[in-house]
Amino acid sequence: MNASLLTALNRIVGSRWVRHRPAELVTYAMDGLPTHESLPGVVVIPETPAQVREVVRLLHLLQVPFVARGAGTGLSGGALADPDTVLIALTRLNKILSVDPVQRRAVLQPGVVNARLSEAALPLGLHYVPDPSSQAACTVGGNVAENAGGPHCLKYGVTTNHIVALEVVLPDGSVTRLGSLQGEAWGPDLVGLFVGSEGMFGIATEITVRLERIPESVRTMLADFSTVRGASEAVSAIIAAGIVPAALEMMDRACVAAVEASIYAAGYPTDAAAVLLVELDGQTDAVEAEAATVREILSDRGAREVRSASSPADRARLWQGRKKAFGAMGRIAPDLAVQDAVVPRSALPDIMDEIEKIRRLHDLTISNVFHAGDGNLHPNISFDRRDPAVAARVRLACREIMAACVAAGGSITGEHGVGNDKLDYMSWIFNAETLGAMRAVRRAFDPSEMANPGKVVPVHACREWSVVKSLRQ
Amino acid sequence: MNASLLTALNRIVGSRWVRHRPAELVTYAMDGLPTHESLPGVVVIPETPAQVREVVRLLHLLQVPFVARGAGTGLSGGALADPDTVLIALTRLNKILSVDPVQRRAVLQPGVVNARLSEAALPLGLHYVPDPSSQAACTVGGNVAENAGGPHCLKYGVTTNHIVALEVVLPDGSVTRLGSLQGEAWGPDLVGLFVGSEGMFGIATEITVRLERIPESVRTMLADFSTVRGASEAVSAIIAAGIVPAALEMMDRACVAAVEASIYAAGYPTDAAAVLLVELDGQTDAVEAEAATVREILSDRGAREVRSASSPADRARLWQGRKKAFGAMGRIAPDLAVQDAVVPRSALPDIMDEIEKIRRLHDLTISNVFHAGDGNLHPNISFDRRDPAVAARVRLACREIMAACVAAGGSITGEHGVGNDKLDYMSWIFNAETLGAMRAVRRAFDPSEMANPGKVVPVHACREWSVVKSLRQ
């Protein structure tokens, strides 16, 4: 980065909030995925939306590319920046501006940590539903960028279903508002377009979210199975019975073993091939009725034991292992490559067999933890990236797992985004014309592609969309 | 200028309005004073106040110095910029935003040409009083920067008396409003501080001026004298009689000769040593009474002939030679160095003798045209700057004239400002502590002295003001 750019950034945010020494930059070299690493040119940490605007405008004028970053818990390398790129960390924009219990809306800055939002709403009997496993650290701004999911998104929808309005700094530094308190007033769903755009369309500086009432009653059940197939079939059967649980999570034997060997031990049966967590919520009577049906289905499908909890303390204990699964896996090896793909629910048993084959072939440790209810897999490979041979095998295994999921009729990401990790896979599922259309949309927001450059849309694989379009006209 | 700055400026104003090729820059190498010349690094020509703000903010962030420029008719080199400096030309900000006949105010952008403002106000029976000789070309923004005068400022005051409010882009790109429709509401006179600050305190992007009623009656008289002393004494006698003419202008023989030899010939007597123009305005009866008194004084003091005009056409003819005097002098030689100094009215005859001595010593052509009523001299040297020896003599003569005016109890500028032309003279009339205080005020607006750097306050001659102050405390 040249000195005058540093000086200019210093003037906008104060030199304390501009990081450029290698020792400072290292903090920002990775997100939650250890298979990608890149040192940004400089990190700037604005305090206010006005500073964000000014930084983005300056970078636009000087044609310096930028990447926005929240807490850096992402899992697709989306918040990594190259040495010629400015990383804009939004963690200081951490104010909850208002919580409206009547309209059930909260207005907040992008750097607010996900869990803190629900804490703020709790005294009003409300909560913010999307609950990524990283919710104690990840920011709502990052959730917006990635359209983050979480266990409770099966019933209530992912981030996009909970965002009603955004104030956005476009890549040229201009400011626009998308949506309204009541959602999109008319015309195309620009909020929906922005949520999940992975930092390509600009930076949200103010986010208006929908809050939900905390359900009257919650029942959590834990069932263990001697086969993954049995557990998978139980998942399908529950959905087929017309029940939509608030959450429907599965962990395989390796995952349970990791959890039970850690300080997060939740009393899960370590000899089970798979453990299912089913959570039902709603009116007390309805929950009781659904719980009886679910218990019946689980037993029918071969559950060895079904434990049930409805007190908050008991529920927390059953959930603890699932919520801390990624942390527990961290004990096994220095690094953990968390993968993210989706398959049709019916393909779950087969895909688990495929993953096991790939694991054996490359002699790796893979634990599976996933949102079974919507077929969203998270195969997690524990390894040591300092061993280049192992790292190469991990990369290969990731690729093969992804190929297997696509072959099973699935897709390359359920909730973690494409980032740079899955750039190569995009052409497996989209043709050149579709990718060209994506790029054209990107360029509508950012003609010079300076916002999160090189991510999400593999430029080399795009057909030039305007040409395609003009040929057809 | 580096390429990325050019690109950034292009993005703000459009590449058509960024001039950087030598052939383009030459236009901006001088103002109205041919003794100074400097090519700016780049010229940027914004269209809107928002663009001005953004350009200034960018330059502040990158710590690139800038100079604001109106029509470039200034006469002290104030609007010249060095190759490391960006020149911001404001000629496209040329909108009159409102004219209010009840409050007698107009709101306008800085690039509005002075004469056009009075034209716009004319149908409402109003006019904008300050009327520099360059009023057909100069801009009100430039008038504000230089606190410009003009013939009619004797009675009605100079620019600062006609500006009630300003929207100003400070040198760091922030925007502030000074004054109000009613003038300064309370506290220090910041409008007064800004007017005449010669571009050191920022750029006015919106100017609210006072308009005056066009007087009911106007009488213009032309008197010719066989001696400059006689004409000078008549000037003092008119003021001493308690009459404040709207204008009281003197031209010497050389000036009259130049006018009468040009297409602007006004029928002035070419054998006179001095010609006086006296204009009276106000209520018809009062004007008639004053005119009789003035005529009497002029005759008493030796006027050979007194011509009088009250019809607009006759008045225009009497004024024509004075208004076009600078243009007429342009016929005599390729270049004209217009000087500007003030002396006490009583010193006028002696200073004219001094100027004549200096003229002879250096063998130059000097014509004098000046606002005699307030002792504001304009000795004008016609020369050819392509002859280095002549140019050197012109510089020396200018310096000697200025020294004579200061010795006579005068000052180094009446209405053209200090710019870079008179930088050296500042320490003749201000001590190091006063200059240091001026610099401290400058730094209150512009801590890094990036706005019109190197002008007005000779930095080397300043005592560091904060040190002086702290030693006293």
- Residue-wise pLDDT for B292-351, tens only, equals 999 999 999 999 999 999 888 989 988 988 988 888 888 889 999 999 999 998 898 899
Q: Which of B7, B61, B63 sits opposite A58 (nearest CB)?
A: B61
Q: How far apart are CA B463 and CA B455, in angstroms?
A: 17
How many helices (H) does chain A have, and how many strands (E)?
Answer: 17, 20
Tell me what the mean pLDDT of segment B77-96 comes to. Answer: 97
Of the candidates B8, B60, B63, the beta carbon closest to that of A61 is on B8
Tell me what percent of the residues of chain B surpass a pLDDT of 90: 85
Asked if the ipTM is above 0.90, the reply is no
What is the phi-psi region of residue A45: left when phi exceeds 0, alpha when psi lies from -120 to 50, beta otherwise? beta
CA distance B244 to B215: 14
CB pair distance less than 8 Å for B12 and A60: no
Q: How many other C-beta atoms are found inside a 10 Å radius of the C-beta of residue A276?
A: 27
Q: Can you point out the beta strands (E) in B226-351?
A: 247-252, 274-282, 305-309, 335-338, 341-342
What pLDDT is attached to residue A382?
94
Other Cβ atoms less than 10 A from the Cβ of B453: the count is: 18
Could you report the per-residue pLDDT of A208-226, keeping only the tens digit for each? 999 999 999 999 999 999 9
A61, A86, A175, A446, best to mutate vs chain B, most B CBs in 10 Å:
A61
pLDDT tens-digit profile, chain A (473 residues)? 688 899 999 999 999 999 999 999 999 999 999 999 999 999 999 999 999 999 999 999 999 999 999 999 999 999 999 999 999 999 999 999 999 999 999 999 999 999 999 999 999 999 999 999 999 999 999 999 999 999 899 999 999 999 999 999 999 999 999 998 776 667 789 999 999 999 999 999 999 999 999 999 999 999 999 998 899 999 999 999 999 999 999 999 999 999 999 988 888 999 999 999 999 999 999 999 999 999 999 999 999 999 999 888 889 888 988 888 888 888 889 999 999 999 998 898 899 999 999 999 999 999 999 899 889 999 999 999 999 999 999 999 999 999 999 999 999 999 999 999 999 999 999 999 999 999 999 999 999 999 999 999 998 888 776 544 544 44
Closest C-alpha to A117, from A96, A102, A137: A96
- Give chain B positions within 8 Å (CB) of A58: 58, 61
Q: Which of A277, A343, A416 lies closest to A353, judged by CA?
A: A343
Q: What is the pLDDT of residue A467?
A: 47
- Name B440's Cβ contacts closer than 8 Å, sequence gap at least 6: B465, B466
Q: Using an 8 Å Cβ cutoff, are B89 and B44 in contact?
A: yes
Q: Which residue has the tokens 């910029």?
A: B81
Query: Is pLDDT at B80 greater than 70 in this prediction?
Result: yes
Q: Sorting pLDDT into bands at 50, 70 and 90, what band is B468?
A: very low
Burial class (CB in 10 A: 0-12, 13-18, 19+), B360: exposed
Answer whether A4 sits within 8 Å of B54, measured CB to CB: no
pLDDT number for residue A183: 67
Closest by CA position to B139, among listed B166, B112, B161, B175:
B112
Q: Per-residue pLDDT averaged across B187-213, rounded?
A: 95
- Angle at which helices B432-445 and B465-472 cross, to 10°: 110
Q: Of the candidates B11, B60, B63, which has its C-beta nearest A61's C-beta?
A: B11
Beta strand extents in A228-387 (DSSP E only): 247-252, 274-282, 305-309, 335-338, 341-342, 365-370, 376-377, 379-383
Contacts with A62 from chain B: Cβ below 8 Å: 4, 7-8
State whether the Cα torsion B52-B56-B58-B59 is positive or negative.
positive
Do A390 and A277 contact (CB within 8 A), yes or no?
no
* Phi, psi torsion values for B356, nearest 5 degrees: -60, -40
Give the three-state DSSP class for B360: helix
Distance CA B333, CA A99 (A): 77
Residue among A253, A263, A240, A274 at smallest CA distance from A328: A263
If we measure between CA atoms, which residue out of B376, B401, B420, B315 comes closest to residue B150? B376
Residues 6+ apart with CB under 8 A from B20: B1, B6, B41, B42, B43
3-state DSSP assignment of residue B106: strand
Asked whether the beta carbons of residue B4 and residue A57 sit closer than 8 angstroms, the reply is no
Whether residue B444 contacts residue B200, with contact meaning beta carbons closer than 8 Å, is answered with no
Using alpha carbons, list the distances in angstroms from residue A382 to A274, A332, A377, A379, A417.
Answer: 19, 7, 16, 10, 21
pLDDT of residue B465: 63
Q: Quick one: pLDDT at residue B471?
A: 46
* CA pair distance A365, A104, nearest whole angstrom: 44
Decide if B130 contacts B239 (C-beta within 8 A).
no
* DSSP at A214: P
What token pair was written down for A57? Answer: 């405008």
Confirm if B45 and B92 have CB atoms less than 8 A apart: yes
Residue B55, token pair as written in the block = 């350009």
Is the pLDDT reported for residue B472 higher than 50? no
Chain B residues whose beta carbon lies within 8 Å of the beta carbon of residue A57? 54
CB A76 within 8 A of CB A341: no
> What are the DSSP E strand ranges found in A263-397?
274-282, 305-309, 335-338, 341-342, 365-370, 376-377, 379-383
Residues of B in contact with A54 (CB under 8 A): 57
Q: What is the pLDDT of residues A356-389, one digit of tens each?
A: 999 999 999 999 998 998 899 999 999 999 999 9
B57 with A54: Cβ contact below 8 A: yes
Provide the residue count of chain A. 473
Residue B397 is inside which H or E element, if any? helix B388-407
Alpha helices in B107-227, H assignment, sequence order: 114-121, 140-146, 153-156, 190-194
Which runs of E-coded beta strand occur in B180-246? Answer: 203-210, 212-213, 217-225
Distance from the Cα of B34 to chain A's closest Cα (Å) equals 35
Is B9 strand, coil or helix? Answer: helix
Given a cut of 80, whether residue B428 has pLDDT beyond it is: yes
**Do strands B376-377 and B341-342 pair parallel, antiparallel, or not at all (unpaired)?**
antiparallel
Contact between B207 and B128 (Cβ < 8 Å): no
Instruction: Say which DSSP state B83 is in.
Output: T
